[in-house]
Structures are given as C-alpha cells and as structure tokens.
Chain A
Amino acid sequence: MTSISSASAAFTGHDPENRLYGPVPDVTGQAGYDTDHPARVGFFTDTSVCIGCKACEVACKEWNTLPMDDSHGVRDVIGLSGMSYDNTGQLGANSWRHVAFIEQSRTVDLPTPTFGRPGDDRGGQGPSVAEGQNDESLARAQQSGVLNAEALSEFDPQTGQTGSDKQIRWLMSSDVCKHCTHAGCLDVCPTGALFRTEFGTVVVQGDICNGCGYCVPACPYGVIDQRKDDGRVFKCTMCYDRLTDGLQPACATACPTQSIQFGNLDELQARADARLATLKGQGVETARLYGRDEDDGVGGAGAFFLLLDEPEVYGLPPDPVVTTRDLPSMWRSAAAGAAMIAGVVLSAFVGRRPR
C-alpha cells in the first residue's frame, strides 16, 4: 500500500537533497506516490493574449460554488474597488482566479490595445500619419491624459513629443495559486489538511482543516486565505474533482483566448519557452516567464506565467522564497534559545543558598 504523506517532502525522506527548496524532478513521487502516478500538471498563463474578460473567474466561481465577496475579501458584499476595472481585487478564500488589470502610460513594445490612431504604435517601422504634426500629437496626448492622470503628468508641453513615443497599454493577467514545488502552505500545515495530490498539485482537505490559519501568512504569494464565517481556509484546487474525471480545470476550459493553458507541466514549459522566444523575436523586450525557473525560491511553480512587466506590477512578489528554506536555521536558534533558558535558570541557583 502506498502511504501518501501529508507531511512535506522534508519528512518523507524520499529525497535527501532539495527537501526544503531547490529543483525536484518528481515532486509527486517525493510526496510518496508510486512510480506509476500521473504526470505533474499545471497552468501556463500567457498574459500577452489575456483580454481581461474574467471568464476564468466566473467559471471558477460556478464550478467550485464559491461565495461572493468584494475586492477586500468581505463576504456577501457587492462592492466596486474604485481603483480600476478590477473589482475582484485579490486572490482569496472565495476568489481562486483573479484577473489583474493595469493601465500604464509607457513605451509600447507590443500591439496591445492602445489609444491613438492606427499606425502610431509602429514606432518608426513605417510611415506614420502622426509624424511631424505636433499639434495633433499634442491634442492626442491631452486626450489620453484624460484617461490616465499619469500620462498627463508625463506630458511635457515644451516638446510636445511625449505622446508620440509613449502610449497607454493595458496589462491583464489571470492570477491563480502557483501549486509550488516547495509549497509553504503545505509545509506549515499542522493537521495534514493540505496535501500533494497524485497530479502534483496542492489541495486543502476541508474535512481536516481546523482553521489554525498558519498557511495564510506562510504563502509567499498571498494566495490562500481564511473564510471568516467558516473558519477554514480555501484556495485553488486546480479542479481536483475535474482532473480525476479526466477533465480540464474550469478556468482553462472557459478561457476564450487560450491565455490559460492546462496540461502536463513539462509540455507547458516547452510551450512557454517557445512562446517567449517568439515574442522576443517580435521585439517584445519586456516579456518574461515567471515561476518557470526551477532554481527560484519555491523550486519552480506548477502554475507559471508569461508577464509583460515586472512581477510586482501585477501584485506578484519579484523573488518569492518558501519560508521553510530557513527553518533548519530557525530550529537551531530555538534549540540554542531553549538551552540558554535552562542554563541561565540553573546558574541562577548556583552560589548563595537561602538557608
């Protein structure tokens, strides 16, 4: 019989190396599954083709019957965030997909939706009707300034040129649980409610979780959260129920642009590398993969992304590290501290006797 350990890999002893961080070639096997376990699956979220439709959010809510909440995670409240097109705000106990929406005024290197006339975003690659017409570019910059205060502040009326090389772009990205190779939530869960599935994903068992809340601050991405009126924690399961029936997760099924791609992780990684090369070849210098590198702080993510700007722009940590990487050092300090207490108390009894 296979013993599936809800303890982290550090305790199963299957892999003496990289138990707490670093690349793990077979994370499912390391968790105790037999060698004939299914391949590790994942999400590749290509944000360069995301249109921000939020079909993934809706499909996720529908399939997993998630309660409604507002952009601050308050249950049973409908509320607008008041800051952008994004009224989901964050990942949380009731939002397992979150489409981030960012409006930027900056040098455009990708044919994303822009304000301005056709051809403006060709950037010197061809004749543009805007060239040499400062009056019009000034008017256009002012118009874009109405849409974005930042553009207005960067517009310099002395030159009138700002509008011709800076444009507004929209970044949209569907965020989700990363299903880390070294999952902090899984490591710190004291009940074994969080476990690694046969697909290499990380799932909470609702009948085990006692709501201690330790996983919430342990996640370097701020994914998992507690449902206040329920007490337990909830997060993306990568539709574990659908996977066991050979279906794709609801979000990937609903995505109309294949921004969310589901599949075996190694295939997705190859596809992502090819997509990045294509975009780089098209001159999209800011494109980068996030969570793809197995040498990163979480040993690579099961759900990784192609981003068009720095991770923190999307609300993602630039260099996340699983907190248990430093745990051996912490335990050593705690042991030394405990020994210190014993030593101090013992020495306090040395010397003068009371009688």
Chain B
Amino acid sequence: MVDDAQFTSYYGRPIIKPPVWKSPDVPLYLFLGGMAGSSSILAAVADVTGRPSLTRTARYTAGGGAIASVVFLIHDLGRPERFLHMLRVFKPTSPLSVGSYILAPFGAAAGATAAVELLGWFPRLKRFGGVVSALFGGPLATYTAVLLANTAVPSWHAAHDELPFVFGGSAMAAGGGVTMLFTPVAEAGPSRRTAVAGAAIELAVMHRVESGHGIVSEPYHEGRPGTLLRIAKGCTAAGAALTVVAGRRRAGAVVAGVLLAAGSLLTRFGVFEAGLVSARDPKYTVVPQRERLAAKEAAEQAAKQNGHAPTVTR
C-alpha cells in the first residue's frame, strides 16, 4: 500500500478539471461500443463458417449496440445538434475524432446489416456489410480506452498502455456473453471461447492497472469505483467459470452470459469513476509529478557525479 503522501495544494482544490462527461451515458457508450465491436467480428466469421443462428444474433447485437452507442455519444454532447461537426476535420491527435471515423462507418455498416438481417433482403450485401463492420469492430472496442487515457486524468493516463487491453478483453467478454445468451448452445461454441478468453484477459490486465501505478492505482480499489470493480471482477470470474462448467446447457449459458455482460458493464463504470476520483483530488496530480521531478533531479545528480552528461532528459 501507498503511505499517505505529503503534498501541497491550493485549499485542497483540484488542479485539473474533472471530465464533464455524463455518468450513465459515457460508461454505457464504452460498454455498448465494446459489445458491438466484438460481436461484429463474431458475426462475420460465423457467417463465413456457416453458423446462421450465431450470425443472426451477433449481427443484431452489433447493430443494436452500434445504434444505441451513437445515441448515447450524441446525447452526451453539450450541443447535440452539432454532432456532425465531428466529421468536419480528421485529427489523429484526437481520439474522439479518430473514434468518430471508426463509429460512423461501423454504425452505418452494422446497423444496415442488422436491418437487412431482420428484413431478409439482399443476402450478398448483408455479408459485405458484415465484413465492413467487422473491420471497424476491433478498433471501436479499443479506441475508447485511448479516449480516456489521452487526458490529464491521472488514473486514466498512467494506465494508457494497459487500458486498451482491458477494454478489448471486456469487449470480448460482453460480446461473447450476450451472443451466447441468445444463440442455441450447439452453435455458440465460438461465443463461449471468446467470452472466456476475454474475461481472462480483462481480469489479468485489470489487475495490473489496479496495482502497477503506485498512488494513482489507489482510486481503482478504494471507495465507490473500488466497490464497482470488485463486483465486476466477481461477475466476470463467475461468468467465465460458469461458461466453462455449464455453458453447453441453456440455463447455464443464460446465467453465464448475463454475468459476463454485467462484469463488463461494471468494469466500464468502475474505470470511469476511478478517473473522476483521481481528477477531483489534487493529491493524484501533484504527488506523481513531484516524484517525476525528484527522479529527474536524482538522475541529473547521479550523471553529474559520474562525470558525463545526463541520459534522462525528461
């Protein structure tokens, strides 16, 4: 554990501004985007390998998730009527800009595929739409991690190399879980294997986020986000275990699918809220920056004593 750190602040006020993103909207967007993304890949491969029920379920999941996530994303804007302004520039330095160019084609392709699936029209166009959405599915599931990490929010930014894998694993657990829920068990084998692998990745990488970053890991296991993430872990682990044990039975698949989806959803809420906590307390901004300055100074001192130029420049 990290000791209570000594630090100075301006009347305990936060240094950075906490995100103004609304709470059910953005975590739900993260969850739905992940679920839709992994489902679209499941749908495309299931289509090619001749699993019609899994194809249909995964296409509905991908299309429904895509459309709902677009609604949540637009609703979160301060000026929702201006959402098309997202598409007037393309900026690789803005994860939200890149994300808009992932979500727009994904939403169009996955939504259209699900619609024609429902109506039973244009079978060949359906396959094409499924493949297009699958191409954007993976990026849709992981770019949202960059969206959070590319901020000054200490607990998000510090975990910037792990969060994409957490979100990727969480997306597979959700997509696999939800498609498993609505597909006959005989065809749902790929869903089960995807869900179990995703859950394992989510749990393993999340453990590194929670323990590997010193003081800024604190919000991940304390307070409300800590509670959310503990429940998330329980759901994900139980869901994965139940999938392995009873995933081939209908009842087992239903319970396991619900647990996996709940675990993924709570992980997104937990990560989101941990970031808010770390933004509101100046401790998480000041202490790591002080440590960085001290380390830099120590490196310069050591280099001076060794009589050569410092190799650490920042």
Chain A residues engaging chain B, CB cutoff 8 angstroms: 6-8, 10-11, 20, 81, 83-84, 89-90, 92, 100, 102, 184, 187-193, 208-214, 216-226, 230-233, 295, 297, 310, 312-320, 323-324, 326-327, 329-331, 333-342, 344-349, 352-355
Contacts and interface: CB of A to CB of B under 8 A. Distances in A.
Contacts of A232: 78-79
A184 B88 contact: no
For this complex, into which size category does the number of interface residues on chain B fall? Answer: 35 or more
B306 interface: no
Instruction: Report the 5 A-B pairs with minimum CB-CB distance, sorted nearest first.
Output: A211-B78, A231-B78, A315-B10, A338-B138, A210-B82
Contacts of B165: 333, 336-337, 340
B193 A221 contact: no
Given A216-B19, A320-B289, A7 B89 contact: yes
16 contacts: A81-B11, A84-B11, A190-B100, A212-B77, A213-B76, A213-B78, A214-B94, A217-B275, A219-B17, A225-B17, A317-B16, A330-B150, A330-B164, A334-B146, A341-B41, A354-B51
Interface of B: 7-11, 13-21, 37-38, 41-42, 45-46, 49, 51, 76-80, 82-83, 85-86, 88-97, 99-100, 137-139, 141-143, 145-147, 149-153, 157, 160-165, 167-168, 171-172, 176, 186-187, 189-191, 193-194, 197-198, 201, 275, 279, 282, 285-286, 289-290, 292-293, 313-314
Given A222-B17, A319-B293, A326-B157, A341 B93 contact: no
A109 to B, nearest CB: 18
Contacts of A345: 38, 41-42, 45, 172, 190, 194
B151 A297 contact: no
A26 B74 CA distance: 37
A74 to B, nearest CB: 14
B17 A217 contact: yes
Contacts of A220: 16, 152
B142 A341 contact: yes
A128 to B, nearest CB: 30
